[in-house]
Amino acid sequence: MTARRLASEPGLLRGTGPGFGPLARRFPYEQRTLLHVLAARAEERPEKDWLVFDGGADERDRLTFRGAQEQAYRFAAALRDTGFTTTALLLRNQREFMPAFLGTQAAGGVAAPLNPELRGPLLATVLGRCGAQVLVVRADLLDALAGAPSLAGVRLVLVCGDTAGRASVHGVSVVALDEWCAGRGTDPPAALPGPSDLATLVFTSGTSGGSKAAMWPHHYLYLSSAAVSDSLGHTQDDVLSTPLQMCHIAGLQVFAGSALQVGCTAHLKSRFSVQTWWEEIAADGATFAMLMGQMAAMILDAVPAAPEHRLGHVYILPQPAGREEFERRYGTTVIWQGWGMTEIFPHVPSKHRIEDVPADTIGPAPSWVDYGVVDEHDRLLAPGELGEMVYRPLVPDSMARGYYGDPEATNRAFRNFMFHTGDLGYYDELGRVHFVMRNQDAIRRRGENISAVELENVTRGHPDVLDAAAYAVPSELGEHEVKLDVLTRDSLDLDGLHAWLVEQLPRFMVPRYLERRAEFPRTLSQRVEKYKLAREGVDRPEVREYAAPRRASTVGQP
């Protein structure tokens, strides 16, 4: 094996891409929080729709800038009266999300949005990891709470909608959110938090050892949405639309946060529908949208033509195989160059594509970060050499500051004064970064990153499972499908195991393929050699295939 070439200079490289634009610089550093932006928008455009949910036919599913501020301050007043400081949100895209999210911050607390697909032991685990005291939940997800082994440290459950007569869940009091907030004042807090204060805990997808709660200071929450808005060049006349959820950075920052920064309207959907997506885009009057690659492939397969629309650009990750056909058939422009993760968002998308470059090109790093690609000893590699992508911001609080309650993971990811992404890539002679692949234990399915580690841990919780190995296999629609191989006791029925997993896992994590193995191939250090399992394929009689599960509480989710 030939040695990889090291860079001529040992230090990280300075980004050559754009710096901060006018929206990122609009406020002095001391006021760089989304709460300050909301206060400004509520003053400038009080009756302008900021967020519209599922078309907004019901007036209650529309939030103006002033309405959002008043509801957030009402939530903050109620939270201050209780003395609680950390709020978890088990919500889809819906009107209660932002008032609870920003209201918690206005009260000086920390908000933790959770994936609404969570259930069972994983739900209890993340509630414990974020230290939530209050949980805001959709009424149709109350059963998911009841099915979890516990609610960890939660002391109050606030329900969006009918409590269905429940007075408690796992011994925790259940109260209707509207009732809890009723009669509270809408006066602004005596002081808003500062840019370096902790704003939110956003859970990673768990691609390197389980989901971690990334600590976002207010400045990162502000800066990532402002940088996206500046890069995309949105104006107050733009209309944004997506089915991607606000528990992830796309729905939260690329859409809700961006619309706030710009002063325009964002349409957010609680579900994704292949058949009606274009109809929704037309009805919304959307000028900018976002999909994941598999969603785009499904639309291409099912929708022969788009209605009249004004969608100029759609951001699709990763670039779909049928990108040119998508543009030709539907009369829009696809952009895909950009890259970010929960902890840092350096390569924001732009409507100006870099043409005539490899498809893995994500562009130059911005001028406010140092970057590089390193080997296993953290030595900077030369152009064209594949290694781990690393970044070091030059601006305070412009990325996550670590993982809540997990100093070991924090030290590992932030070692040697640079953030280690766990993703592989390279940079070319012009300094453009090329993203190649994710951590080997990551599976990308239906727009969700799945942790093989977490799936395996849940599976091992079955009394008749001895060991488990989860990994990605190709999907006919792009991205991946999930295959799970197990070592079991003879008495275990695979169909029974799959039914058990459906009850324990988020729908997107439930394996499509199951196989019983007599043993796993392993390295000398006893790591399972999953690449050997994957190359055997799934078209064999030993492999059992299952249809995607359906649940009333998750209907329509991508």
What SS3 string covers 210-238? Answer: CCCEEEEEHHHHHHHHHHHHHHHCCCCCC
From the list 102, 101, 150, the residue with the least C-alpha distance to 128 is 150
pLDDT of 552 strictly over 60: no
pLDDT of 226 strictly over 80: yes
pLDDT of residue 526: 63
Binning pLDDT at 50, 70 and 90, where does residue 441 land? low
Question: CB neighbours (10 Å) of residue 126?
Answer: 24
pLDDT of 245 strictly over 90: yes
CB 267 within 8 A of CB 244: no
CB 455 within 8 A of CB 505: yes
Q: What is the pLDDT of residues 93-104, one digit of tens each?
A: 999 999 999 999
pLDDT of residue 301: 86
For the record, the structure tokens of 64 come out as 């103006």
Q: What is the mean pLDDT of the segment spanning 434-438?
A: 78
Average pLDDT, the chain: 92
Q: What is the pLDDT of residues 176-213, one digit of tens each?
A: 999 999 999 999 999 999 999 999 999 987 655 568 99
φ, ψ for residue 284 (rounded to 5)? -70, -20
pLDDT of 61 strictly over 70: yes
The β-bridge partners of 174 are: 157
Amino acid at 320: P
pLDDT of 292 strictly over 80: yes
For the record, the structure tokens of 255 come out as 């859409």
Q: Distance (Å, rounded) from C-alpha 283 to C-alpha 471? A: 39
From the list 422, 446, 445, 424, the residue with the least C-alpha distance to 433 is 424
Q: What is the mean pLDDT of the segment spanning 356-376?
A: 93
Could you identify the residue written with the tokens 């993982």? 403
pLDDT of residue 211: 82
From its phi and psi, is residue 429 left (phi > 0), alpha (psi between -120 and 50) or beta? Answer: alpha
* Percent residues over pLDDT 90 in the chain: 79
Q: Which of 20-29, 441-450, 480-489 has the lowest mean pLDDT?
A: 441-450
CB neighbour list of residue 49: distance below 8 Å, 6 or more residues apart:
56, 62, 63, 64, 265
Q: What is the mean pLDDT of the segment spanning 241-264?
A: 96
Greatest mean pLDDT range, 166-180, 348-362, 434-448: 166-180
Alpha helices in 83-171, H assignment, sequence order: 97-106, 120-130, 142-147
CB neighbour list of residue 2: distance below 8 Å, 6 or more residues apart:
none
User: Going from the N-terminus, what domains does the chain have, and what CATH number goes with each?
Assistant: 29-47+63-217 (3.40.50.980), 360-437 (2.30.38.10), 444-554 (3.30.300.30)
pLDDT of 554 strictly over 50: no
Helix, strand, coil share (%) of the chain residues, nearest 5: 30, 25, 45
* Percent residues over pLDDT 70 in the chain: 95
pLDDT of 387 strictly over 60: yes
Binning pLDDT at 50, 70 and 90, where does residue 493 land? very high
Binning pLDDT at 50, 70 and 90, where does residue 263 land? very high
Q: What is the mean pLDDT of the segment spanning 301-325?
A: 92
For the record, the structure tokens of 351 come out as 């409507």
Q: What is the mean pLDDT of the segment spanning 334-344?
A: 94
Length of the chain measured in residues: 558
Helix pair angle (120-130, 494-504), 10° resolution? 30
CB 288 within 8 A of CB 241: yes
For the record, the structure tokens of 244 come out as 């991607």
pLDDT of 524 strictly over 80: no
Could you identify the residue written with the tokens 């599913």? 61
The DSSP element (H or E) to which 258 belongs, if any, is: helix 258-262
From the list 514, 508, 512, 470, the residue with the least C-alpha distance to 492 is 514
Query: How far, in Å, are 244, 271, 294, 487, 541 from residue 291 at the CA level?
Result: 7, 12, 8, 37, 35
Q: What is the mean pLDDT of the segment spanning 237-258?
A: 96
Beta strands (DSSP E) in 340-397 are 361-364, 369-374, 387-393
33-53 per-residue burial string, b: 16 or more CB within 10 A, e: under 16: bbbbbbbbbbeebeebbbbbb
CB 461 within 8 A of CB 468: no
Q: What is the mean pLDDT of the segment spanning 475-497?
A: 88
161 burial level (CB within 10 Å; 0-12, 13-18, 19+): middle
Query: How far, in Å, are 40, 123, 216, 233, 546 from residue 33 at the CA level?
Result: 11, 29, 11, 20, 46
Binning pLDDT at 50, 70 and 90, where does residue 556 land? very low
Alpha helices in 107-241, H assignment, sequence order: 120-130, 142-147, 177-181, 218-232
Q: Which of 371-380, 427-436, 525-534 has the lowest mean pLDDT?
A: 525-534
Beta strands (DSSP E) in 375-460 are 387-393, 419-427, 432-437, 442-445, 448-451
pLDDT of 557 strictly over 70: no
Q: Which of 163-172, 290-299, 481-490 has the lowest mean pLDDT?
A: 290-299
